[in-house]
Amino acid sequence: MTKAPGPAASPDPKVYGWCPGALRPMMSGDGLVVRIRAPLGQLSQDQASAVATLSERFGNGLIDLSARANLQLRGITADSYPALIAALQDLGLVDHDSAAEARRNVMLTPLWKPEDISHRIAAQLEQALRDAEDLLLPGKFGFVVDAGESPQLRDCVGDIRIETSGAELLLLADGAECGQSITAETAAEAALDLARWFLQQGGAPEGRGRMHPLIARRGLPASHITPRSASTPSPTIGNCAIGQLVGLEFGQITAQALATLAEQGALRLTPWRMLLIEGRHDIEIPRLPGLILDARDPRLRVSACTGAPGCLQALSATRDLARDLAPFVPEGQVLHVSGCAKGCAHPRPAPLVLTATAPDTFALIHHGKAGDHPLRDSLRAGALRAAPQILTEGS
């Protein structure tokens, strides 16, 4: 519906313009956040078990799974940080060069098979990015390799995409419906060429910027003329061709739960708030706190950021409210509860959005982002719990 003019949903939060990395951590309300970009989005059993141990030893035992399929260790102290990084480098999970670590921002479809086209392209692209010392991309700039039978990562944030379109393999700029035909052999080089084009066209004038806004004002390169095909829905909790998918409440897992899952098999990180246990089907997953094992669980219809006090930008706690409201979110819809107007947990528009404007006080937005103009404001958390139908009134 058309939103009435009015004030923004909440005061402008601080925008850093970059995401935490392993070698460039970000301070949050519960300590340093250290993000691990696991090569090819995969953890061996030994690596996953070791990460769980490191989380408890050097952090607060909480681990986030980000929307770009990265792990975030929380609660790391400044004193323990150097030892943590040394241990992660010994595990092969962190580069030794900070610039290479920052460039190597590649999300691979979790459903890849060894030596298939997606696997080969992602491995080549990661190495090409490590070697591309001249490529000074913004901290959030990312690549997506989604070259399976049908793309499944369309809803995931990424600036340069490599995906299948029927019998074609396409290189796509985010926000475009046409791409450049490429081959598996030329894909990595073509992706870096497009990244350099982005910079040459002024996509990051002050070291910040994304591909989608550039395409909106500049248009596509002349070679991007091949239409992309339709995508397919992402898989759900349970068995898939590669193994078994397990959901994480709000994309977070405890170190203890991660260690338990590591006993079952190697793990793949997904952008869907799920972990994939490789090669295991129909196994009995222990019912641990925070794990979601039923595809009908209403918590799958809500997303929420860390919220206060864990995030310094958040104006309110978020997850208890999201958990309480989850059963009242209509099937097929999503409720995004954001601690501030940045909307980190769900960057794209959602049918229902609650954005904190003060402690336990929220603005309601329909079919928008966390920073859009609200349909209603000054809604108290207690009132929402008492009358959850407020969420959908007027929609």
- Angle at CA 101, nearest 5°, toward 30 and 114? 105
Q: Name the nearest CA neighbour of 357 among 119, 6, 4, 10.
A: 10
**Residue pLDDT, tens place only, 301-357:** 999 999 999 999 999 999 999 999 999 999 999 999 999 999 989 888 999 999 999
pLDDT value at residue 348: 85
Using one digit for the tens of pLDDT, what is the confidence trace for 93-136?
A: 999 998 899 899 999 999 999 999 999 999 999 999 999 999 99
In angstroms, the Cα distances linking 109 to 200, 242, 262 are 29, 12, 20
Cβ–Cβ < 8 Å for 74, 54: no
DSSP secondary-structure letter at 155? T
Asked whether the whole model's pTM tops 0.85, one would answer: yes
Percent of the chain with pLDDT over 90: 81
Asked if residue 14 has pLDDT above 60, the reply is no
Asked if the peptide bond before residue 347 counts as cis, ω within 30 degrees of 0, the response is no
pLDDT reported for residue 19: 61
Tell me whether residue 236 is exposed, middle or buried, using C-beta atoms within 10 angstroms of its C-beta: 0 to 12, 13 to 18, 19 or more.
middle
The C-alpha atoms of residue 99 and residue 86 are separated, in whole angstroms, by: 17
Amino acid identity at 41? G
What gap in Å lies between CA 166 and CA 149, rounded to an integer? 8
CATH no. for 298-391: 3.30.413.10
Q: Where are the domains of the chain?
A: 26-96, 112-227, 238-292, 298-391
374 close to 44: Cβ distance less than 8 angstroms: no
Q: Which residues, including other chains, have CB under 8 Å from residue 324's CB and lie 6 or more apart? A: 385
Return mean pLDDT, the chain: 92
Amino acid occupying residue 394 = G
Q: Which helix (H) or strand (E) holds 119?
A: helix 117-131
Distances in Å between the Cα of 274 and the Cα atoms of 232, 248, 278 are 17, 6, 13
Give Cα separations from 284 to 132, 251, 266, 290 (angstroms). Answer: 44, 21, 16, 16
**Span 26-96: which CATH code?**
3.30.70.3340
What are residue 123's phi and psi, to 5 degrees?
-65, -45
Paired tokens of 347: 């960057």
More confident of the two residues 395 and 79:
79
pLDDT for position 139: 87
Q: What is the per-residue pLDDT across 44-56, written as a single tens digit (0 to 9) for each?
A: 999 999 999 999 9
Three-point CA angle 25, 26, 29, nearest 5°: 135
Question: For the segment 201-231, what is each residue's pLDDT rounded down to a tens digit?
Answer: 999 998 899 999 999 999 999 999 999 988 8
